[in-house]
Structure 1
Amino acid sequence: MLNDSLEKWLYSLDSFLDIGKRLGIMIDAARALDHLNHKPLLHTDLKPSNVLLDKDMVAHLSDFGITSYSKDEESVAQTSNLGTSGYSAPEYRLKGSVSARSDVYSFGITLMETFTRKRPTDQMFGPELSLRDWVKEALDSSSVHQVVDAGLIGEEEFEAKVKCASSILELALKCSEESAEERMDIKDVVEKLKTIRDDQIPKKY
């Protein structure tokens, strides 16, 4: 893809995505995941390096496992090594099974990373503190501005941006619940992200 991947844009010293562009990319990624899951296929390895950006900065998903499953089945057992540490859902790590809700978990972690610019495998995280824990603590203590990528929130329209980032990270937490049954359906995630974009993104972004 002409504009490489979301990972490249997040961590490049020469590139920057504002809050509106990041949200637009994640809406595209959620739509693509919804389309894939309803074929029905599972991605099984969603992360920023697999979110590719075309010449118009529209996001496309790549490198998916193409695991087919029946919608009548809650999950499918996997014997191959799928997923990436930090992004794979608990049920895969513990039971070796994946489902559409496993993809939602990976999407939630990717959504957090996109707005915090912190990989789940960052050295600051470990057995006692995960990226999800860090984000949840910030939301619980109303200190979201301390975990959001510093470049996204400046003095201009500070309150509006913090509110928007809080809504996005709250959604990311709902996507990455420990229990698969408690996670949102990806179709609902798409609609929620669109609502945040339409209602909360400052109009200039």
Structure 2
Amino acid sequence: MFYLPNEDAALSCTSAFKAKLSSMSISQSFVSQCMNGSNDFVVKPSSCGGIVTMKDWMEKVGPNSLLDSSCTGDLAGLTRCSLCLDAGLKVNTYLVSLNPNVTNDKCFYFTAIYAAAIVSEFGPEDSRTAACVLALPLANKASRSRHLSRGTSKWDKKRKQDALHQGYVTSVKSQILPNTGAKWFQGDEEFINEAEIISKIRHRNLLPLRGFCVTSDNLNGKGRYLVYDFMPNGSLDDHLFNVGTKRLSWPQRKNIILDVAKGLAYLHYGIKPSIYHRDIKATNILLDMDMKARVADFGLAKQIKEGQTHLTTRVAGTYGYLAPEYALYGQLTEKSDVYSFGIMILEIMSGRRVLDASNSSALLVTDWAWTMVKSRNVEGVFDVSIKDEGPKRVMERFVHVGILCAHVMVALRPTIEDALRMLEGDIDIPRLPDRPLPLGFESLESLSLHSDRFRDISVSSSSNSLSRYIQK
């Protein structure tokens, strides 16, 4: 049975627990924080989908649930414990769905009890199992130490509540990363490694990372959060494409483009080894109170090894912004970010999205801009709100650099340093090379779906902000 059979048994148990606390000189008030009374431990068929015994559990959940495969072995490591936590949240969500009118937490407790007492071969008294699953930092007998085991549970018993939902904090370990000032609140090893790289970046055109954490809740599962300074003017996307938002002036657009170029130049050449952002787009460019641009969201960033010229990696990013050689073959270089930057320049200059997902025959903004320039109508690329604002030659130069940066041929794209010098007028722009036949949205999606290198590619719709993910 998951709980005690009757009230007498529950009363006897809680009385014995209080006596044990007294013998340890622990305040009796501690009991009231953990339990509302002995009735809490009396079995009730209505507690969680009719489950009372192990037989009931097997009928409802089965012997081969995610818990059975994820909560075995040594749960001391962050990765193993995270897998167990994720499995527990999913099983709990399933159990709650069997009895949606019940609002208590019994299903969560049933799940934890099953994981610790049945699945774990070490049992609930093992310090590793207790710390991970039951949130009980037991003394480690094997070490003969009276110190509590490091950290607390990923099945943390103390819930974070707000008006919308209850969150389960996955860990409360907190430390300062060396030489960064960014704090580690609760996270898995892969996420921490990635965030540690990002937290070392400091540049006026890059958004500094203040901290990060991982949380989970019954409804949404695990969420990873990056903590940045608040940017009061939102994202570049807000100002370019949101109806009703005041349009950006030409000086603002020019400065934003230059700011982003400087931020990317720092990532590529200002630090060693270089970092490739992999997701340069309007939604990831944030604007501070002075409308200065900050490159943000380094969730996909990759740091290369010293001496490397490229990486072959799984593809991640956003349709339209991905360089063709990266999208199709997983070949990631500094020129991959340059391609995305070129797309962004053309979006800023034209006020037109990279592609219109509502129109299957829509051209990429690069092909459209190239057609306009080839027909000697470069002014047709300019957003109508800035046509008469700036010097035409300078605005034309920005369009030309955008087209050059977003060329499909890697060798024909400039480095970000050269692109910045072209934008600032320090070096001449080479003659624009011809482009292959334009790619429509339909063709682009077809290429991606049939490429064995594609993984987790976000498709951003122009009619809404939803994204979906294409996986192999």
TM-score of Structure 1 vs Structure 2, range by shorter chain = 0.7 to 0.9
Please tell me whether the aligned partners of residues 144 and 165 of structure 1 are also in contact (alpha carbons under 8 angstroms): no
Contact 2:356–2:362 (Cα < 8 Å) also in 1: no
Name the counterpart of 1:199: none
Equivalents in 2 of 1:184, 1:131: separation in Å? 19
Q: Which residue of 2 aligns with 1:152?
A: 386
Which residue in the other structure is 2:58 paired with? none
Of 179, 182, 202, which residue of structure 1 is paired with 2:409? 179
Q: Count how many residue pairs are aligned between Structure 1 and Structure 2.
A: 191
CA distance in 2 between partners of 1:192 and 1:59 (Å):
19
Between stretches 122-131 and 47-56, larger displacement belongs to 122-131
Residue in 2 that maps onto 1:200: none
- Matched to 2:419, the amino acid is V
Matches within 5 A, 1:36-185: 36-38=267-269, 39=271, 40-64=274-298, 65-70=300-305, 72-79=307-314, 81-123=315-357, 129-154=363-388, 160-161=391-392, 163-185=393-415
Match of 1:2 among 208, 222, 232: 232
Distance 1:94 1:8, change over 3 A: same
Task: Work out whether 1:35 is the aligned partner of 2:266.
Answer: yes
**Aligned residue identity for 2:302:** T
Q: For residue 78 of structure 1, what is the amino acid of its counterpart?
A: T
CA distance, structure 2, for counterparts of residue 170 and residue 19 of structure 1:
16
Q: Distance in 1 between matches of 2:417 and 2:306?
A: 15
Contact 2:354 2:365 in 1 (8 A): yes
Question: Measured at CA, do residues 75 and 2 of structure 1 come closer, stay the same or move farther in structure 2, by a change above 3 Å?
Answer: same
TM superposition shift of 1:126? 5.3
Match of 1:22 in 2: 253
Unaligned runs of 5+ in 2: 1-230, 427-472
Aligned partners of 2:394 and 2:291: how far apart in 1? 21
SS of residue paired to 1:60 = strand
CA contact (8 A) 2:355 2:363 kept: no
- SS of match in other structure, 2:318: coil
Per the TM alignment, residue 153 of structure 1 is displaced from its structure 2 partner at its CA by 0.7
Amino acid at match of 2:370: K
**Structure 1's 37 and 67: CA in aligned 2 closer, same or farther, altered over 3 A?**
same
Alpha carbon RMSD of aligned pairs, Å? Answer: 2.0
Q: Distance in 2 between matches of 1:116 and 1:58?
A: 20
Of Structure 1 and Structure 2, which has the larger fraction of its residues in strand? 2
Q: Where do 5+ consecutive residues of structure 1 fail to align? A: 197-205
Distance in 1 (CA, whole Å) between partners of 2:232 and 2:386 is 24
1:36-65 deviations in Å (ceiling 9; x for gaps): 122310100000110111111111111122
TM-score, normalised via structure 1 length:
0.85
Compute the displacement of 1:124 (Å): 7.9
Alpha-carbon deviation of 1:84? 0.3
Counterpart contact for 1:139–1:166, Cα < 8 Å: no
- Quickly say closer, same or farther: Cα 1:73–1:125, change in 2 above 3 A: farther
Q: Would the aligned equivalents of 1:43 and 1:67 in 2 still touch at CA under 8 Å?
A: yes
Q: How far did residue 147 of structure 1 move?
A: 2.5
Q: Report deviation, 1:134.
A: 0.8
Letter in structure 2 aligned against 1:182 = L
> More displaced, 105-114 or 36-45?
36-45
Shift of 1:188: 1.3
Q: Give the residue type in structure 1 aligned to 2:383.
A: D
After TM superposition, give the deviation of residue 110 of structure 1 in Å.
Answer: 0.5
C-alpha distance 69-127 of structure 1, shift in aligned 2 (>3 A): farther
**TM-score (normalizing by structure 2):** 0.39
* Aligned amino acid, residue 37 of structure 1: H
Please list the CA deviations of residues 74-124 of structure 1 after superposition, one character each: whole Å capped at 9, or x if unmatched: 310112x41100001001111012111000000000000011111112148
Relative to structure 1, is the Cα distance of residues 97 and 111 closer, same or farther in structure 2, using a 3 angstrom cutoff? Answer: same
Equivalence for 2:419: 189
Does the 8 A contact of 1:108 with 1:172 survive in 2? Answer: yes
What's the CA shift for 1:33?
0.6
Structure with max Cα Rg = 2
C-alpha separation in 1, matches of 2:357 and 2:259: 29
